[in-house]
A and B are shown apart, each in its own frame.
Chain A
């Protein structure tokens, strides 16, 4: 054998390798290709979008030959099911679909395997929403951070808040889609005709008022903590911007809202929309499944979704209500990889388009650019895409539930008149500050509002 021939062979291989490497660097990781993996079990809750997920899973099984078992739990019970699985010595679910309000418990408790630990090349595709970076967790700072955190999950349900409005009434009265909150207030007043119809219905009961208030709070430039991304958890809930936002929220309810103050749940606000009682609601897109269904609604084809209005300084904010798929630690490696394969397949654009077609809420904003968005049935897609980009998760810490409970109680008390707005915000601030101090965060408090 000639020495030159062997050398040329090596050179050719090296060139090919360099070419492939160059292609990788330029084009990114290779496109998804079907890989045969172990069967997995997924913990998921029953919901309007569950049927869409189920159909997608059937598609996955057909496409790849991989088996997926769905452990379906009622919404009241889904947290227990996932908690039980991760706390056991060996879990019975290999992929958990968890609400963003609960997911922090799983992050902070160290129950999960970072996706990049399973496969360093795994990355979220460009078109996928990150929902206020809630899929990245920095264990040191104990908060969400895209740069310093690890990728712990892939969004499974892209639920965010939008403005639902009555398009037919807008046409009738010649109204324009509101760009600012003041315009929304004006439109709501114009359509306010009690008791036949209310301009807007807030969901301000003991369980939900803090959630309803998020979009208002952040778009007015307020917030709850000063700068969680830099681990500065100084409590700012009783700042002047938040006060202004809250007074606006109350004024909107007074001027154009439902007479029943402080006792309406998000579900009831959605019911008000579909029974024609509400001209506007600011609620999660998951409600869409009901509006065009003649068995569930009297406003079929009359409602549309819009971007949440901007605040006085031009800030826009929506509320994230999404669900995230995470992989637990206490299951065998092969099952974890299998779960990761599903997530890899799930996030592709064509798959997300099919997902939307099946009736679920996509987690990619570029689905709004597909042909699906041209159909009347999917007219909410542009608003969804825009709101997804500004969605906020206001409690980026392990004590999220405790803080939420405090805020829900105090804001509800303010709404029902048990205490004034200022004193409610001040009380919330000191109670939240107490919780954070005891938990060892870097925190502080603003002086009380006078």
Chain B
């Protein structure tokens, strides 16, 4: 594809994008810089300051902080719950729209998923804690993973429904007639075609699981606490340790950013593949 002409419209478009990028980046930069300030420097709003590493030291090495452990916990919970949600969600989306279930069933399930998504988490955690403790799943990875899967499945199913419905039926029927089995159709045809939706869903679900607080704080204790719980420990009763929080959230961005960059390449490859097809 040739380079587009440098019209006034294009310049204006880029100007808008850059302005928006600046607006989005500024508060983020404030947070990232705060990680290197002393608390007092941040409180008085110093713009020029002497950077310190004490916040990261407190976060990673102090006796009251288990951040690396929490980080690892979040990776395990986030990774597993995202994988499970994508698997269950994509299968369910395909099933609901291509397996000829009665329309009432499909709508009922989608509606139930949306309604569950509307519940404020604080009204659920009591019941969940009771359930999980009864079977001994409180303070375990599995418990929190299952909880996060439940929380994020509605979004995944709805998103992937949109993607699945865009796939032309003829492709599937042709493959079926050619003798391909259902698993083959799903893995070789459906999944590659919903790559952008799948990637977007993966990124969002991972982020939501990574940042989830209310359920995590109820279902975990020291050994299984995740990053948001660790960061929340800096919001104390009479003092908010802003700079330590900033340090924690700067570090906690890394997995999601990596996933994002990975996802971009995945999509681009998919788009090219789609074009070639």
- Nearest B-chain residue to A74, judged by Cβ: B232
Q: Please tell me if B277 contacts chain A, counting CB pairs below 8 Å.
A: no
Q: Please tell me if B63 contacts chain A, counting CB pairs below 8 Å.
A: yes
Knowing A84-B218, A267-B240, A286-B238, the reply to whether A74 touches B54 (Cβ < 8 A) is no
Q: How many residues of A contact B (CB 8 A)?
A: 41
Q: Which of B41-71 contact A (CB under 8 A)?
A: 43-44, 52, 54, 63-64
Q: How many residues of B contact A (CB 8 A)?
A: 30
Task: Determine, out of A17-25, A217-225, A292-300, A342-350, the stretch whose residues face the partner at the interface.
Answer: A292-300
Q: Please tell me if B222 contacts chain A, counting CB pairs below 8 Å.
A: yes
Knowing A81-B217, A267-B239, A267-B240, the reply to whether A76 touches B232 (Cβ < 8 A) is yes
A71 to B237, CA, bound (A): 17
**Closest CB of chain A to B234's CB: distance in Å?**
8
A74 to B228, CA, bound (A): 10
A166 to B238, CA, bound (A): 20
Q: Please tell me if B129 contacts chain A, counting CB pairs below 8 Å.
A: yes
Please name all residues of chain A whose beta carbon is closer than 8 Å to the beta carbon of B235 when the two chains form the complex. Answer: 74-76
A409 to B22, CA, bound (A): 39
A388 to B60, CA, bound (A): 36
Q: Which of A283-323 contact B (CB under 8 A)?
A: 283-284, 286-287, 289-290, 294-298
**Closest CB of chain A to B56's CB: distance in Å?**
14
A295, B239: Cβ atoms under 8 Å? no
Q: Please tell me if A72 contacts chain B, counting CB pairs below 8 Å.
A: yes
Please name all residues of chain B whose beta carbon is closer than 8 Å to the beta carbon of A290 when the two chains form the complex. Answer: 239
A270 to B39, CA, bound (A): 13
B40, A275: Cβ atoms under 8 Å? yes
Q: Please tell me if B2 contacts chain A, counting CB pairs below 8 Å.
A: no
- Nearest A-chain residue to B63, judged by Cβ: A54
Q: Which of A237-278 contact B (CB under 8 A)?
A: 266-267, 270-271, 274-275
Partner of B40, one of A71, A266, A295: A295
Q: Which of A72, A283, A287 has the most CB of B within 10 A?
A: A72
B64, A48: Cβ atoms under 8 Å? no
A298 to B125, CA, bound (A): 42
Q: Which of B134-171 contact A (CB under 8 A)?
A: 138-139
B64, A50: Cβ atoms under 8 Å? yes
A73, B217: Cβ atoms under 8 Å? yes
A99 to B238, CA, bound (A): 13
**Closest CB of chain A to B187's CB: distance in Å?**
42
Please name all residues of chain A whose beta carbon is closer than 8 Å to the beta carbon of B138 when the two chains form the complex. Answer: 84, 92
Please name all residues of chain B whose beta carbon is closer than 8 Å to the beta carbon of A84 when the two chains form the complex. Answer: 126, 129, 133, 138, 218
Q: Please tell me if B221 contacts chain A, counting CB pairs below 8 Å.
A: yes
Please name all residues of chain A whose beta carbon is closer than 8 Å to the beta carbon of B30 when the two chains form the complex. Answer: none
**Closest CB of chain A to B27's CB: distance in Å?**
19
Please name all residues of chain A whose beta carbon is closer than 8 Å to the beta carbon of B237 when the two chains form the complex. Answer: 45, 47, 75, 99, 286
**Closest CB of chain B to A366's CB: distance in Å?**
25
A73 to B64, CA, bound (A): 11
Q: Please encode chain B, from 7 to 44, with 1 for each CB lying within 8 Å of some chain A CB and 0 for all others.
A: 00000000000000000000000000000001110011
Q: Please tell me if A148 contacts chain B, counting CB pairs below 8 Å.
A: no
Q: Please tell me if A77 contacts chain B, counting CB pairs below 8 Å.
A: yes
B238, A275: Cβ atoms under 8 Å? no
A437 to B157, CA, bound (A): 49
A284 to B236, CA, bound (A): 13
**Closest CB of chain A to B99's CB: distance in Å?**
41
**Closest CB of chain B to A392's CB: distance in Å?**
19
Q: Which of A89, A295, A297 has the most CB of B within 10 A?
A: A295
Knowing A46-B233, A274-B40, the reply to whether A74 touches B217 (Cβ < 8 A) is yes
A7 to B110, CA, bound (A): 90
Please name all residues of chain B whose beta carbon is closer than 8 Å to the beta carbon of A45 when the two chains form the complex. Answer: 236-237
A295, B54: Cβ atoms under 8 Å? yes
B40, A296: Cβ atoms under 8 Å? yes
A287, B232: Cβ atoms under 8 Å? no
A46, B236: Cβ atoms under 8 Å? yes
Knowing A77-B217, A92-B139, the reply to whether A48 touches B40 (Cβ < 8 A) is no
Q: Which of A15-57 contact B (CB under 8 A)?
A: 45-48, 50-51, 54
**Closest CB of chain B to A263's CB: distance in Å?**
16
Please name all residues of chain B whose beta carbon is closer than 8 Å to the beta carbon of A99 when the two chains form the complex. Answer: 237
Contacts A54-B64, A286-B239, A295-B38 given; 19 further ones with Cβ under 8 A? A46-B233, A46-B234, A46-B236, A74-B232, A75-B235, A77-B217, A77-B232, A80-B125, A84-B218, A87-B130, A88-B130, A89-B133, A267-B238, A270-B239, A275-B43, A286-B238, A296-B38, A297-B40, A298-B44
**Closest 3 CB pairs between A and B?**
A74-B232, A77-B217, A46-B233
